[in-house]
Amino acid sequence: MSTFAICPQCPNELFPIGLQGNSPSSKDAQKFKNKLLESLLDIAAPILVTLFFDKNIRVLKNIKELINDALEEYGESECPLTYEALKNTMVFLLLMPNDIPLPQLDIEESGDITLEWYKDKWNLYTVIIDESGLYYYAGLFGDSNNRDYGRKQLSDGIDSIVIQQIKRVCT
C-alpha cells in the first residue's frame, strides 16, 4: 500500500512519500495519477462544453438572428443597431447564470436592444440595453400592483435582484 501527500510548495503535485522516482512503486503511483487525471478530464470536458460553450454558441446565434432581423426590417443603410449596443447585449447575456433561459431579443427604433422573458401577460420581465453601458429593467409579477423597475450600470455586472426576478418569471 502506498501513502500519498501533497507538497505545500507545489499543491498541484501528488506524490508518494518515501519512494524514489524510478522505483516500481513510484511508477505505479505515477500511472495511477495519470489515469486519475485522464478520468477527470473525460468527465470534465463534456460538462465544460455544456456549461460554457453551448451557451456561448446559443448567445451568438441569437445575436446573429437579431442582426439579420434588423437588417431585413430596416435595411442596411437605416439599421439602428450599433456595435456598442450589440457588445453590451452580448456581455449581459454571457454574464447571466446558465440556469436562466435565453430571452427573446428585439431591436428598438432607437437602436436599443430589448431582452424579454415572458411567461404570460401578468408575468414578464424586460431588460433594455443601450450603447452607453446602462441596462433598464422592468418586471410584472402576477398583477398590476406587483412590479419592479430601475436601471443599472452593466460594468457592475448583473444585479442579483435582477437575476432573482428573471428566475421568478421563468419558473
CATH number at residue 117: 3.90.1150
Residue holding cell 437602436?
A: 111
Contact 120, 161 (CB under 8 A): no
Residue 23 lies in a domain: no
Residue 15 lies in a domain: no
Residue 21 lies in a domain: no
pTM given for the model: 0.66
Residue 22 lies in a domain: no
Structural domains of the chain, count: 1
Q: Tell me the percentage of the chain whose pLDDT exceeds 70.
A: 73
Compute the mean pLDDT over every residue in the chain, rounded to the nearest whole number: 80
In angstroms, rounded to a whole number, what is the distance separating the alpha carbons of residues 85 and 109? 13
Residue 24 lies in a domain: no
Q: Is the pLDDT of residue 117 over 90?
A: yes
> Which among 145, 133, 92 has a CA at the least distance from the CA of 116?
92
Residue holding cell 422592468?
A: 138
Residue 151 lies in a domain: yes
Q: Give the residue numbers spanning the domain of 80.
A: 40-170
In angstroms, rounded to a whole number, what is the distance separating the alpha carbons of residues 150 and 156? 14
Residue 63 lies in a domain: yes
